[in-house]
Amino acid sequence: MAYWQWGDASAPHLVICVHGLSRQGRDFDVLARALVARADGRLRVVCPDVAGRGRSDWLKDPMGYQIPQYAADMLALLAQVHQQVAVETLDWIGTSMGGLIGLVVCGQADLPLPAKVRRLVLNDVGPVIQWSALQRIGQYLGDTGHFSSVQEAADAMWAVSTTFGPHTPAQWLALSQAMVRPLPDGGLTLHYDPAIAVPFRAVTEASAAEGEATLWRLYDAVRCQTLLLRGAQSDLLSAETARDMTLRGPRARLVEFEGVGHAPTLVAEDQVDAVASFTLTT
């Protein structure tokens, strides 16, 4: 599993940033730079490419592309990082799938973490995931395409990513740079293993509903301070679920962003400020 590191590699304060389903660790470039700058460099930010994405290896068995395997991988990564330099303060920022992995890690007190997670940021995700959003994502997941340039790929990705909210052309192109990999014929395709769609498409409305109870148990067991970010027009995290998350478990602090759906990219200044203020305030 590849990961991207920012800041001071010897800093005892570690922030791990975990991306969404079809994304990769470079999504957090803007946020990571901002966190390190606000911490005057005394911070280590690690942004992994989850297995099957970005620079990480692909799995032989596509059914391994599921949350339990990802959580186990993150425990191994944290153990390795801790071995390099002891982690004294640990914070977790997770967008969509990365937030669900965070729930697994933070909602089980007996896991071998180098330090208990102190602050948890859940970016537009919770225990209840709207079925219509899963259907929407399933329409394009696994179609990695063939492009002649990064700009062409960026335009194609924007067609299915307008819910991310307003971005300047430069911002979107920057987010798209790491979203492609080269092909032998000189073209480009999206960076991930198309097989990540196999277990995703095996999910049914009934099985998704059954998983809600497990996710709520994990959420209710979270003991760290929690910030919940929501795109005000999100089709994945409903306003009702977000409200419930402020009333139970860790009683998350809720911040909503107007004009944004699923999911905030943490590039806009107000989004970066919300995360940085919460994560870096002692």
Is the confidence at residue 282, as pLDDT, over 90?
no
Instruction: pLDDT band for 41, please (50, 70, 90 cuts).
Output: confident
Is the confidence at residue 70, as pLDDT, over 80?
yes
Instruction: Give me the pLDDT at residue 273, please.
Output: 98
Decide which of 1.10.600.10, 3.30.930.10, 3.40.50.1820, 3.30.70.20 is the CATH code for 3-140+204-280: 3.40.50.1820
Share of the chain above pLDDT 90, in %: 98
Tokens of 129: 């995931």
Please name the amino acid found at residue 188. L
Instruction: Give me the pLDDT at residue 171, please.
Output: 96
Question: HEC profile for the chain?
Answer: CCEEEEECCCCCEEEEEECCCCCCHHHHHHHHHHHHHHCCCCCEEEEECCCCCCCCCCCCCHHHCCHHHHHHHHHHHHHHHHHHCCCCEEEEEEECHHHHHHHHHHCCCCCCCCCCEEEEEEECCCCCCCHHHHHHHHCCCCCCCCECCHHHHHHHHHHCCHHHCCCCHHHHHHHHHCCEEECCCCCEEECCCHHHHHHHHHCCHHHHHHHHHHHHHHHHHCCCEEEEEEECCCCCCCHHHHHHHHHCCCCCEEEEECCCCCCCCCCCHHHHHHHHHHHHCC
Instruction: pLDDT band for 42, please (50, 70, 90 cuts).
Output: very high
Please name the amino acid found at residue 30. V
Is the confidence at residue 281, as pLDDT, over 90?
no
Instruction: Give me the pLDDT at residue 238, please.
Output: 97
- Domain coordinates in residue numbering, the chain: 3-140+204-280
Q: pLDDT tens-digit profile of 218-232? A: 999 999 999 999 999
Q: pLDDT tens-digit profile of 120-171? A: 999 999 999 999 999 999 999 999 999 999 999 999 999 999 999 999 999 9
Tokens of 160: 């299915």
